[in-house]
Amino acid sequence: MVKERIKSFEDLEVYKKLCELHLNVHKLSLTLPKFELHELGSQLRRSSNSIPANLAEGWNNKHLNIYLEGINRALGELRETKHHLTIAYKKNYFPEKIYKEYIEGYNECGRMLKGLERSLEKLRPSK
């Protein structure tokens, strides 16, 4: 199996998965009660979109620390998104099956982001 060279953040599997999750979470957020669309729904849409956006922003920066910071911010937004999903679930806005599906998707992406972070940490010059 030959791995293709990653030329852009758009080639990263984690970026693709995060974009797909965001699009699905966006649709889900529009099913929330009307009074939640501009509260919890908006926060959910913004935080889920910020995860891949932060990854893209930090991509291939000439300063490794800035790229790592982008990954760190993405992980923070991922945790925020999971929080919003948990609150929406606890308010009974969608069934447990859907909740678990999204949480597992974000858990998987979190592991992928941590793996990317570890691989980039190896590029740091020795002190």
What confidence tens digit (pLDDT) does each residue in 2-36 have?
Answer: 456 777 889 899 999 999 999 999 999 999 999 99
* Rounded-to-integer distance, Cα 74 and Cα 71, Å: 5
pLDDT tens digits along 30-73: 999 999 999 999 999 999 999 999 999 988 777 888 899 999 99
- Residue given tokens 């000439």 in the structure block: 62
pLDDT band at 1 (very low <50, low <70, confident <90, very high): very low
Looking at residue 2, what is its pLDDT?
Answer: 44
Looking at residue 127, what is its pLDDT?
Answer: 61
Task: Parse the chain into domains and list their residue ranges.
Answer: 13-121
pLDDT at residue 78 above 60?
yes
Looking at residue 125, what is its pLDDT?
Answer: 72
Cβ-Cβ contacts under 8 Å for 49 (sequence gap 6 or more): 22, 26
Please state, as a whole number, how many other Cβ atoms lie within 10 Å of the Cβ of residue 8. 10
One DSSP character per residue, the chain reads: -PPPP--SGGG-HHHHHHHHHHHHHHHHHTTS-GGGTTTHHHHHHHHHHHHHHHHHHHTT-SSHHHHHHHHHHHHHHHHHHHHHHHHHHHTTSS-HHHHHHHHHHHHHHHHHHHHHHHHHHTTSPP-
| CATH numeric code, 13-121 | 1.20.1440.60
